[in-house]
A = this chain, B = another copy of it.
C-alpha cells in the first residue's frame, strides 16, 4: 500500500473537536488578542480625536453633535466611528433622546491603559 494524498480515512469525532479543527488554531495569547483589539479601536485619527475630546471635556461626557461640529466628516461617518469605539468597549452611550450622551468607559479604558503599559514597559 502506498501513501497518497488521495487515500481515504474514516474516523469519529465530537462536534466540538470538529469545530476546533475547522477553526483556525489560536497561536497568540488572549492578552495579545485583547491588546490588538484596543489598538485597532485607536487606529484611526478620528477615533483618537473622539477619545481625546471625551477625556478633555469638562463633564467628561458629550453629545455626538458636539463632536460632529469639530469634524469635517459626515455625521453618519462619525456615528460609525462611535460604534467602533463602543464595540471595543472604550466608550458608552447614555441614550437621552433625541440626544445621546457619550462617556468614556472607565473600566475598559483602565484595562487598555494597563495592558499597553505592561506591553511597553520593558
Contacts and interface: CB of A to CB of B under 8 A. Distances in A.
Contacts of A122: 55
Interface of chain A: mostly helix, strand, loop or mixed:
helix
Give how many copies assemble into the complex: 2
A35 B116 CA distance: 13
Question: Chain A interface: which size bin?
Answer: 20 to 34
A97 interface: no
A48 B24 CA distance: 18
Contacts of A40: 39-40, 43-44
Contacts of A49: 27-28, 32
Nearest to A48: B32
B120 A116 contact: yes
Nearest first, the 9 A-B pairs at minimum CB distance are A113-B120, A40-B43, A39-B42, A28-B45, A32-B48, A39-B43, A36-B45, A39-B39, A43-B43
